[in-house]
Homo-oligomer: A and B are copies of this chain.
Amino acid sequence: MNQSNCIVAQSGGPTVAINASLAGVIAGVKSSEKYDICYGAVNGILGILNENYLNLSDIFADDANLEKLKTTPAMYLGSCRHKLPDYKDDDSPYVYIFHQFDKLSIKAFFYIGGNDSMDTVLKLSDYAKKINSDVKIIGIPKTIDNDLCMTDHTPGFGSAAKYIASSMLEIAHDTFIYAVKSVTIVEIMGRDAGWLTAASALARNEYNTAPQFIYLPEVNFDKDKFVADIKEALAHTNNVIVAVSEGIHDADGSYITSSKAACDQFGHQQLSGAGKALEFIVKENIGVKVRSVEVNVLQRCASHLASLTDIEESFAQGKKGVTIAAEGVTASMVCLKRISNKPYQVEYTYSAIKDIANEAKSVPREWINDAGNDVKPELIEYLKPLIQGETAVAYKNGLPDYMDVSHLHKCN
């Protein structure tokens, strides 16, 4: 009757680590003296508005399930892209949400997500303050884009970075085999921030200098400079590999898409990504063998190649969320502070959500080389620790053995 429960939800795009943070929240509630049941809302904040809950304390009573959840990709609880209105304009969803909180004896709400989700955390925090609610509102970060402020890096990023670097190395092996001049363009996710594309630099080793060039959205893209870069590299190496963020743009802020490149060549519009655009530019201006590879959604859901560091930190950040809520913290997001790089050491902390929501962290210009076509050693040193270690993914019938997510299949 006098229960003190929690509810958790996930929102935004998938990552490999977002379920590890969920597992952390569940584990945190399990070991907490303050909280009883941990509920999960299905499909983010919509799960509360639709009264679509799971009893996670029941489902994950067995620790083996919790371990399996840690290495299952995407969202066990499903996701949504739902922007709450300003409560001053329309407080009806807020009234409903806090009514649900009362009904379920919720004392803490945890929202695992990226920038947009932190906007929801901020709005709920503001409303809670206004109505003097004692429900603690806590954000748990997650985004492969690594663009949340006030934290050293974000859960999900390290695994995506490991996937990108490994893929770049394997693409390099694939590319090296022909003794003919070639250019390979690898397009990597990142509309506004180039962190993930920068991680491709980690593929360089004693025998691999690829990617030879890295173009990030933090630097205006110059087509002529790009053509000159490639020509110069082809003079002394057969196989040139280029890593490019999907979000590169010219000095006017226009995205580099193949509609533009194709227009130059064929006189009509094509709609495609930056990789295709650069492929067209090479074809048109240099004329060597060229192909583009768009690294697909696997960069955010390939749990079979997760970073152990990322998974462990994501779990710990979920757990930290419960700890700080129990201590009375609210209107905050769990953060990571890097104490030292060698040896790598982090501290789990938190910051006010108002300093995080609707802000974004780009790659600092001083971590990109002057020519704007590569990253500096400082950035590589920052990235290195985040991809270390491999998780022990179990295999069943030759495939990764992930958590059953059939509860997400219900046709609404």
A residues neighboring B (CB under 8 Å): 10, 14, 42-43, 46, 72-75, 78-81, 162, 165-167, 169-171, 173-174, 176-179, 202-203, 205-207, 236-239, 266, 268-270, 272, 293-298, 300-305, 307, 384, 387-390, 395, 397-400, 402, 404-406, 408-409, 411-412
Q: Do the beta carbons of A207 and B405 come within 8 Å of each other? A: yes
A/B interface sample: 20 pairs, CB < 8 A? A14-B173, A73-B174, A74-B176, A80-B179, A166-B399, A170-B298, A173-B405, A176-B405, A179-B408, A202-B397, A202-B399, A205-B397, A205-B399, A206-B404, A207-B404, A207-B409, A236-B411, A238-B412, A268-B269, A384-B397
Chain B residue at minimum C-beta to C-beta distance from A395: B390
**How far does the Cβ of A41 sit from chain B's closest Cβ, in whole Å?**
12
Find the B residue at minimum CB distance from A297: B174
What separation, in Å, do the CA atoms of A406 and B210 have in the docked complex? 12
A173 closest partner in B (C-beta): B74
User: Would you call A389 and B384 a contact (CB within 8 A)?
Assistant: no
Residues of chain B contacted by A239 (CB below 8 angstroms): 409
Residues on the B chain within 8 Å of A389, using CB: 398
Bound Cα distance from A176 to B397, whole angstroms? 22
A274 to chain B, nearest CB (A): 15
Our pick among B46, B203, B294 for the contact of A179 (Cβ within 8 Å) is B46
Contact of A294 with B294 in the complex, beta carbons under 8 Å? yes
Question: Known interface pairs A166-B399, A236-B411, A388-B397. Does A179 touch B405 (Cβ–Cβ under 8 Å)?
Answer: no
Contacts of A171 in B (CB 8 A): 296-298, 301
Q: How far is the CB of A348 from chain B (nearest CB, A)?
A: 22
Task: Check A300–B174 contact: CB distance below 8 A.
Answer: yes
Residues of B within 8 Å of A390, CB to CB, are 395
> Bound complex: CA of A297 vs CA of B388, how far in Å?
24
Residues of B within 8 A of A272 (CB): 272
Complex Cα spacing A206 to B409, Å: 12
With a CB–CB cut-off of 8 A, which chain B residues contact A297? 171, 174, 293
Assess the B387–A166 pair: CB atoms within 8 A: no
On chain B, the residues within 8 Å of A300 by CB distance are 174
Nearest residue in B to A390 (C-beta to C-beta)?
A: B395
Most central of A42, A177, A297, A389 by chain B CB within 10 Å: A177
Q: A167-B298, A238-B411, A409-B238 are in contact. Are A177 and B402 (CB under 8 A)?
A: no
A80 to B179, CA, bound (A): 8
**Given pairs A78-B177, A202-B399, A388-B397, 14 additional interface contacts (CB within 8 A):** A14-B173, A73-B170, A79-B177, A167-B298, A169-B400, A170-B301, A170-B400, A176-B405, A176-B408, A206-B406, A207-B409, A237-B409, A270-B270, A294-B296
Which of B14, B173, B179, B395 is in CB contact (< 8 Å) with A402?
A: B173
